[in-house]
Chain A
Amino acid sequence: MSHPAKASEFLQDAAKAKWHDETLWFVRDKRDTISKTIPEWEKLRELASQIKDNVLANLDKYLVQFEEKATANGIKVHWAKDAEEHNQIVLSILQRHQCKAIVKSKSILTEECHLNPFLENNGVEVVDTDLGERIVQFLNQPPSHIVLPAIHLKKRDISELFHEKLHTEKGNEDPAYLTHAARLHLREKFLGAKVAITGVNFGVAETGEFVVCTNEGNADMGVHLADVHIACMGIEKIIPRRKDLGVFLRLLARSATGQPITNYNSHFRSPAAGKEIHIVLVDNGRTDQLAREKFKNSLKCIRCGACMNTCPIYRRSGGYSYGSVVPGPIGSILSPGLDVKKYSTLPFASTLCGSCTDVCPVKINIHEQLYEWRQEITKAQGTNAKSISMKIANGIFAVPFAYKVTGVMMRGALKILPDSITYSGLNTWGKQRDLPETPKETFKDWYKKNRT
């Protein structure tokens, strides 16, 4: 289904859609406020961008260095070309430990690889331990936002869900009460799990350590109580030096939620006595994206979600309207790289306003890449209705008389056109928006009266 079709589903609940829009804007606003307390903010963005450029230019070298160091630290490093191989590697580790139940903290990569259904089909119980992720897991839904997985739900929805799943009091919608119920439920899971899976925020080539950031502490609760820690990491998550973490940890949480740092930032270098750490390095389309000169910059992403919070389309259409693992502006340039046909409408789900580019902590030119994807997709699909109308517009703008006559006609038409045409199914942009009032006179007429 196309982005516009799914967006209209989201917009059916107008009150919820409005809340979604305003709440994400509030998060964006917090990001603005805190970034302005750092005088060197723009310099940090530039540094982060330069470091990531260097990573992409030397990715092979850094991956080998990372593997060498991590191995020397007692970590077992695995390589996976695609999602299937990644899933098989994880399963084989679980089978070796005869493990039938795992806890998992937030990892967009494992969503991308569809690890949960794969493990469940192989008889492994998977418990997502981030509160938002546990909520959507109970509903058999994917996360709708990469940092705020349950942002599409209201506390009433969660209260009903927890009443059913965790036997909380019916009608009690207090977030503190509901969170406490989840705490008790997940504590049991943490205490019982032999294997814990996490994602990776940064892998440091220089030391072979990797960093995982959370506010809930769920990643650490899982891995430190388990015997085996499996960390799933996209190959682009490498950074060269330990001191580069100073730049990225200053940018990440401020960009994501407007807080100065996540409350837990764990640096894993070697396993505790008697325990195991595995890292699975995953390609799954990343080298393809690296080979696309126009789009390789998308691999600099540190998954803060700032481009989603600021995007006027994301805020008003919800994460599910994109139908991709990573939604929003960054998702709309990553996903066509994975399957251009399936995700062909995503680069058009943008006003090209450039706000995503302005907030991106690693300075990815997101809106320019969206525009580039449109060129690629339009070339592949041939002429569409929009390009015909653009050709007509081209003729009108080129001939002054035609422009003048058309202007008079359009001002008349805007007043008398019935809503059934303006807001018809052909014009998805008309939904949720009103046309502006038409001016009484043209600028040309006004200029003649006032300036000559």
Chain B
Amino acid sequence: MSSRENILTTIKAIPRENSLLPEISAFEFPMDHKAAFILSIQANKGEVIAESELKDFIAINRFEKILNLAKGMESLSTQPLPSDAHELNELEVAIIQGQFGVAENGAIWLTDENLGLRALPFITEHLVIVLEEKSLVSNMHEAYQRIGAQHSGFGLFIAGPSKTADIEQSLVIGAHGAKSLRVVLR
């Protein structure tokens, strides 16, 4: 008998009482979506900025390696998407389009079509996500309702920059992935 059969047969032989799968109700969210979203991103050590501030951020830091995949920001791009993600190792700024944001925790939903390469939001030194204000939803239940049966090979909630507290519980931003997250809410 294969291990597959072995495991499934063993489980089937265990007497178990059935229990119903509960329905998940929509929970109310009392706060203004935009205000709550901004607070959430800040708590996750990200920043919500205006489009003009993004241009300042790039100018002040004199970034030269910028890859843009967001609508309406094409002029900021200095390089195209490579075919191999390893070539993104020196990338300074990635600008991508988020599908929607979640007010309760700052999470932003992205899929393959936003990312170009799945490694992009992780390997870049700084990450910028462009998000439409009207796309904000209240909580994770509404988020999955919105995702629905959407079919993508890879989907991702990003809520902040790469962070760790593994050394004496001291929070450090920029563990392996992006050292900062800026959300352009428009």
Bind each other: yes
Listed in ascending order, the chain A residues whose CB lies under 8 Å from chain B are 23, 26-27, 39-40, 43, 47, 50-51, 53-54, 56-60, 63-64, 73, 79-81, 85, 129-132, 135, 148-151, 153-155, 158, 175-176, 178-180, 182-183, 186-187, 190-191, 209, 215-218, 220-221, 224-225, 235, 240-247, 249-250, 257, 259-272, 281, 283, 287, 290-291
Interface of A is mostly: helix
With a CB–CB cut-off of 8 A, which chain B residues contact A240? 21
In the complex, which of the residues B22, B43, B156, B176 contacts A187, with contact meaning CB atoms closer than 8 Å?
B176
Contact indicator per residue, chain B 1-41, by CB within 8 Å of chain A (1) or not (0): 01110111011101011111110100100000000000010
Are B166 and A63 closer than 8 Å at their CB atoms?
Answer: no
Determine whether B107 belongs to the interface, using a CB cutoff of 8 Å to chain A: yes
CB-CB under 8 A for A263 and B22, given A217-B177, A217-B178 = no
Interface bin, chain B: 35 or more
* A303 CB → nearest B CB, Å: 17
- Shortest 9 CB-CB distances between A and B: which pairs? A217-B177, A132-B166, A260-B105, A224-B119, A216-B175, A175-B170, A267-B155, A79-B4, A175-B167
With a CB–CB cut-off of 8 A, which chain A residues contact B85? 224-225
What separation, in Å, do the CA atoms of A180 and B43 have in the docked complex? Answer: 22
CB-CB under 8 A for A287 and B122, given A217-B162, A263-B159, A263-B160 = no
What separation, in Å, do the CA atoms of A135 and B144 have in the docked complex? Answer: 36
In the complex, which of the residues A26, A51, A259 contacts B22, with contact meaning CB atoms closer than 8 Å?
A51
Are A51 and B159 closer than 8 Å at their CB atoms?
Answer: no
In the complex, which of the residues A47, A186, A271, A290 contacts B24, with contact meaning CB atoms closer than 8 Å?
A47
Are A291 and B14 closer than 8 Å at their CB atoms?
Answer: yes
With a CB–CB cut-off of 8 A, which chain B residues contact A287? 7, 10-11, 14
For the A-B complex, the count of residue pairs with Cβ-Cβ distances under 8 Å equals 232
What separation, in Å, do the CA atoms of A178 and B17 have in the docked complex? Answer: 52
Are A216 and B118 closer than 8 Å at their CB atoms?
Answer: no
Are A269 and B153 closer than 8 Å at their CB atoms?
Answer: yes
Are B14 and A246 closer than 8 Å at their CB atoms?
Answer: no
Are B86 and A59 closer than 8 Å at their CB atoms?
Answer: no
Are A216 and B177 closer than 8 Å at their CB atoms?
Answer: yes
* B87 CB → nearest A CB, Å: 10
Please give me the residue from chain A that is nearest to B170 by CB atom.
A175
Are A246 and B143 closer than 8 Å at their CB atoms?
Answer: yes
What separation, in Å, do the CA atoms of A176 and B179 have in the docked complex? Answer: 12
Please give me the residue from chain B that is nearest to A131 by CB atom.
B166
In the complex, which of the residues B2, B21, B168, B174 contacts A51, with contact meaning CB atoms closer than 8 Å?
B21
Contact indicator per residue, chain B 106-137, by CB within 8 Å of chain A (1) or not (0): 11000010000111001100000000000000
- Between-chain CB contacts (< 8 Å), 8 pairs: A53-B19, A148-B166, A175-B168, A176-B170, A180-B174, A216-B164, A225-B85, A266-B154
Please give me the residue from chain B that is nearest to A26 by CB atom.
B169
Determine whether B140 belongs to the interface, using a CB cutoff of 8 Å to chain A: yes
- Best-surrounded residue of B107, B139, B140 (most CB of chain A within 10 A): B140
What separation, in Å, do the CA atoms of A175 and B27 have in the docked complex? Answer: 39
What separation, in Å, do the CA atoms of A63 and B6 have in the docked complex? Answer: 13
What separation, in Å, do the CA atoms of A179 and B177 have in the docked complex? Answer: 12
What separation, in Å, do the CA atoms of A261 and B160 have in the docked complex? Answer: 10
Are B156 and A221 closer than 8 Å at their CB atoms?
Answer: no
**Contacting residues of chain B (23-81) with chain A, CB-CB under 8 angstroms:** 24, 27, 40, 43-44
What separation, in Å, do the CA atoms of A215 and B44 have in the docked complex? Answer: 10
CB-CB under 8 A for A272 and B166, given A64-B8, A179-B172 = no
In the complex, which of the residues B21, B40, B44, B161 contacts A54, with contact meaning CB atoms closer than 8 Å?
B21
Are B156 and A266 closer than 8 Å at their CB atoms?
Answer: yes
With a CB–CB cut-off of 8 A, which chain A residues contact B160? 263
What separation, in Å, do the CA atoms of A151 and B123 have in the docked complex? Answer: 27
What separation, in Å, do the CA atoms of A215 and B122 have in the docked complex? Answer: 11
Are B169 and A23 closer than 8 Å at their CB atoms?
Answer: yes
- Best-surrounded residue of A85, A148, A176, A235 (most CB of chain B within 10 A): A176
